[in-house]
Amino acid sequence: MQIKHTSPDADIDWSQVPQVSLPSKREPVWLSDADVVFTSRGTRTLAYPLVGTPSKAVCAPQFFVLSVREIGKISPEFLAWQINQKPAQDYFQRTATGSYIQNIRREVIENLPITIPPIQQQRLIVKFWRAAQLERITLNRLVENRNHQLEALAMGLLQSTNGVKA
């Protein structure tokens, strides 16, 4: 999995992730649905909760893999949501290295302050987050549709005047 397989809405398009043979002689650490991957380099420092992870999936080195060991205590989706919020993003900006390409060191993500509310509250927050993502997708589709309508209207006007200038 690479950054190009992610979206700004913290989703991963597994259908676009290629299957490859790994040259390493040692067994890799496979990704699971209990993991969150975090982009450590670049302009977008986002966390992606892994959902529907295919078996034997690995990620590119520009990701840190955060493994949630106690699912009953903290939800991977909630952890990703919290990492993607303004307080954490401000923390990353303050502590990042690199002048042109931002780089987050391992110690920085390890020292990120995280608040862990009760699991029911986490699930509710994740539901709100997912609803907001769906609303954003729907709104973007509506805007695209309106733009297509306006383009069609403009083309219709141009064709109906047969090039007559006012």
For residues 76 and 70, the answer to whether their CB atoms sit within 8 Å is no
Neighbours of 124 (CB within 10 A): 13
Domain spans of the chain, in order of start? 3-114
Q: Which CATH number fits domain 3-114: 1.10.3470, 1.20.1740, 3.30.40, 3.90.220?
A: 3.90.220
Per residue in 146-161, pLDDT tens?
Answer: 999 999 998 888 887 7
Provide the token pair at 123.
């699930």
Per residue in 117-139, pLDDT tens?
Answer: 999 999 999 999 989 988 988 99
Read off the pLDDT of each residue in 96-125 and give the average, rounded to a whole number. Answer: 90
Per residue in 27-64, pLDDT tens?
Answer: 777 888 889 989 888 777 889 898 877 777 877 778 88
- Percent of the chain residues past pLDDT 70, beyond the cut: 85
> Does residue 1 carry a pLDDT above 80?
no
Which pLDDT belongs to residue 135? 93
Question: Using CA atoms, how far apart are residues 149 and 147, in angstroms rounded to an integer?
Answer: 5
Which pLDDT belongs to residue 52? 79
Which pLDDT belongs to residue 3? 67
